[in-house]
Amino acid sequence: SQSSPDCAAPKPRALSSTEPDYKLKSEIESMMEEHISLADMTGSDMAGAWMLIAEDGDMKVFKREQEEDGMVIDPIKAIHTVKGITGHELCHHFWNPEVRMEWETTLDSSTVVEWLNKDSMITYQVHKRVWPATQRDSLFWSTIRHCPSEDDEGPDYWIVVNNSTEHEDCPLKDKQVRIRFNVAMICQTVVQPPESGKDIDRSDLTCKIQYSAQVNPGGWAPASVIRVISKREVPKFLKNFTSYVINKTKDKPIMF
Ligand code: 18C
């Protein structure tokens, strides 16, 4: 049906939202659609063009080396699998600005500037300074979306996209350096059917994760520093953040 977009299809149909118009709607919709059409939960598309830069259990982190005007803007893609949580729970905690500072260890502050609709907002963040570079800030919209399958058999996805934007309340001031990024977290839940008569519990849940990030440092920073940071911070983030969500939800009812 039109209202139930099939994100599992190789070329998904337009993810037209049933939401009435809201600020930035067409940009948000089209970027979300693009990320879903490129989703690869297995990492099989990464063979060849992508370099594996970190591996730990089920987690694999890849990059492609790319530069723009002498600045490193390597795209990063990572896949991971964790037990005990749903994709909805993982995406919800990644998106929810109220819990950002509980897990984001590389920020000095995070402030919501404007809500665009109930699932989307613009956030201003100040990143911890990395010596010897100038401190960075960032300004981005963030949105969360459920992509149900068309039938009970197909996989359903949850997705969060964070993408840099502008806002009249946060103009770029002199000497400020603003990071720009496009980040997507895409999750799929696999449920191991419990023995007949039993309810699904957390041990039946597996969450498949794909995280992608393209970050433009916004101003000069040594290439080696940028590459060391991304190689270290992406695996650290995925490990810490998934543990955080597992911990946070373990005694709570499952959010499917
Ligand atoms: O996706 C993540 N978090 C989201 C919510 O905050 C959001 C943020 C994305 C920001 C990505 C860029 C952050 C880089 C800032 C520098 C941090 C340095 C660490 C300092 C430690 C003291 O979507 C989780 C983000 C996980 C981390 C991804 C890192 C990718 C880094 C890529 C290169 C960064 C270049 C930074 C240049 C800084 C000056 C040397």
Give the pLDDT of residue 8: 40
Give the number of the atom of ligand 1 that is nearest the alpha carbon of residue 105. Answer: 21
Mean pLDDT of the region 203-212: 97
Choice between 222 and 92, residue whose per-residue pLDDT is larger: 92
Pocket of ligand 1 (CB under 6 A): 104, 106, 125, 127-128, 130, 133, 136, 162, 179, 181, 183, 213, 215, 217, 221, 225-226, 229-230, 233-234, 237
Mean pLDDT of the region 6-24: 59
Give the pLDDT of residue 227: 95
Residue with the smallest CA separation from ligand 1 atom 21 is 106
* C-alpha atoms less than 13 angstroms from C-alpha of 233 in its C-beta half-sphere: 16
Q: For residue 18, what are its two tokens?
A: 């049933």
Give the pLDDT of residue 101: 98
The chain-wide mean pLDDT, for the chain, equals 90
Give the pLDDT of residue 171: 95
What is the distance between the alpha carbons of residues 165 and 180, in angstroms, rounded to a whole number? 8
Mean pLDDT of the region 167-181: 94
Q: Pocket of ligand 1, candidates 80, 106, 126: which has the most ligand atoms within 8 Å of its Cβ, to mutate?
A: 106
Domains of the chain, earliest start first: 43-249 (3.30.530.20)
Give the number of the atom of ligand 1 that is nearest the alpha carbon of residue 225. Answer: 40
Mean pLDDT of the region 31-48: 85
- Kindly provide the b/e burial profile for residues 221-250, where b requires at least 16 CB atoms within 10 angstroms of the residue's own CB: beeeebeebbbeebbebbeebbebbbeebe
Mean pLDDT of the region 236-256: 97
Q: Are 172 and 219 in contact (CB under 8 A)?
A: no
Q: Which helix (H) or strand (E) holds 92?
A: helix 87-95
| Distance from Cα 230 to the centre of ligand 1, integer Å | 7
| Distance from Cα 58 to the centre of ligand 1, integer Å | 22
Mean pLDDT of the region 133-160: 88
Burial class (CB in 10 A: 0-12, 13-18, 19+), 138: buried
List pLDDT tens digits, range 95-144: 999 999 999 999 999 999 999 999 999 999 999 998 888 999 999 999 99
Alpha helices, H only, 163-222: none
Q: Rounded to the nearest 10 degrees, what angle do helices 87-95 and 223-249 cross at?
A: 120
Mean pLDDT of the region 137-165: 89
pLDDT band at 16 (very low <50, low <70, confident <90, very high): low
Of residues 75, 73, 72, the one with CA closest to residue 224: 72
What is the distance between the alpha carbons of residues 122 and 141, in angstroms, rounded to a whole number? 4
